[in-house]
Amino acid sequence: MGSRKDAVVQTKQGVPEYDEIAVPDLDEETKTIYGFTPSSAGGTGLHTFYQWKDWNHLVCMRQIEIYQANQSETVRMSVRDRVAGELAEIYHEDFPSGSGGWLDAQMVWHDLDYHGEPGGLYDLFQQQPIDDTHDAFLVSTGGRLGTLLVTAELAMENKNEFGTRDITFSVWDPAEMEQPIQTFSEEFMMGVAPEFHHAADANFDGFQDFGYLYCAGNQPNYWHWWLWDEEQGQFEYYAPLTEVSQPVFDAERQVVTGWARNSAASGVHTIYRWLNGELTLLRRIEKHYPTDDNTQLATVEDLIDGQMVVVYRKEWDLTTIKEGTPLVDWNWYDLDYHGEAR
């Protein structure tokens, strides 16, 4: 990466992304912050490459992960690049575990201007039209087909007076581009834009899925989601996720959370889990509109015997509450918490 020197960026203290970089090194020439977390003495581990965007936003531009594949005699080098706003695997290569071949092979990828040889996955993505009626992005399924290319085309005509239009998605296997392996359409209010797609393991099954924004207000925003079915080798539409505003998928806690704001002082937090393959609402936390000029109401509902039941209710006098005091105890955002013992 050229000349490096140790860098502790004093002006960037408190930036969570910076804190995640293992032993950060600064390359002044490329303005790149590099980190490496080893997993063994053989050079396996995770290489990360960050750059500042818009002066105050630290973004991971590339990951090179080198790991023992499936407890076999193979070491895999996986390269994930930021493509269309998200990290996606654009290249992988396998090596015999005793060869050490990954030590040299990874070095070409330390140059962030290098994205693989012509005809590779990144090159294929670059060929796709992205404009007011077209979008394209990559989904690293993690399955036998690996990373797939998804293209989106917005219909030219509105379906109704609300401006609803269809978007047709085509799913392509980069190894066989003669025709898509899957095509499907849904209704959208928002059109297409690079920031409207999102890839994530929405149901925590180890395979990456994707969503596309279809409706948004001042804060609440709703998405169509398609879940990857590894057995069928295709994406399956999952309608219940359209009910979750601004969904966040927390694999560590195995929860899906939503947030829909009604006003500056009110809104609804929802917490879901996947139970028997279905997304299930387990807790609903609502901060209600003030019931009068000086009173705020907060309630918590839990799923009990198949029904949502109020398990906490509190009113606050807004003339006496201290600024910054939460209307609902933060413990309620943990599904293992069920109130103080009486």
Q: Tens digit of pLDDT for each residue in 21-70?
A: 888 888 888 889 999 999 887 889 999 999 988 777 899 999 999 998 87
Percent of the chain whose predicted confidence (pLDDT) is above 90 = 69
* Number of other residues whose CB lies within 10 A of the CB of residue 300: 22
Least confident piece of the model among 159-168, 188-197, 246-255, 270-279:
159-168
Q: What is the DSSP string of 178-212?
A: SS-SEEEEEEESS---GGGEEEE-TTSSSS-EEEE
Tokens describing residue 314: 């509190």
pLDDT of residue 314: 87
Mean pLDDT of 301-321: 88
99 vs 56, residue with greater confidence: 99
pLDDT of residue 293: 67
Strand partners, 59: 51
Tokens describing residue 202: 């929405």
User: Is it the case that residue 3 has pLDDT exceeding 50?
Assistant: no
User: Is it the case that residue 20 has pLDDT exceeding 90?
Assistant: no
Kind and range of the H or E element at 225? strand 221-229
Percent of the chain whose predicted confidence (pLDDT) is above 70 = 92
> What pTM value is reported for the model?
0.87
* Number of other residues whose CB lies within 10 A of the CB of residue 18: 17
User: Is it the case that residue 8 has pLDDT exceeding 50?
Assistant: no
User: Is it the case that residue 145 has pLDDT exceeding 70?
Assistant: yes
- Is 128:168 a contact under the CB 8 Å cutoff? no
Mean pLDDT of 157-186: 92
pLDDT of residue 11: 38
pLDDT of residue 237: 98
What average pLDDT does the structure give for the chain?
89
Q: Please tell me what DSSP assigns to residue 289.
A: P
Mean pLDDT of 252-268: 90
pLDDT in tens, 70-96: 777 899 999 999 999 999 999 999 999
pLDDT of residue 324: 64
Q: What is the DSSP string of 61-110?
A: EEEEEEEE-TTSSEEEEEEEEEETTEEEEEEEEEEETTT-THHHHGGGGG
d(CA 92, CA 31): 26
- Which pLDDT band holds residue 10 (cuts at 50, 70, 90)? very low
Mean pLDDT of 150-162: 88
Mean pLDDT of 12-24: 73
User: Is it the case that residue 325 has pLDDT exceeding 90?
Assistant: no
237 vs 20, residue with greater confidence: 237
- Which pLDDT band holds residue 161 (cuts at 50, 70, 90)? confident
Mean pLDDT of 304-312: 95
Least confident piece of the model among 94-98, 182-186, 238-242, 271-275:
94-98
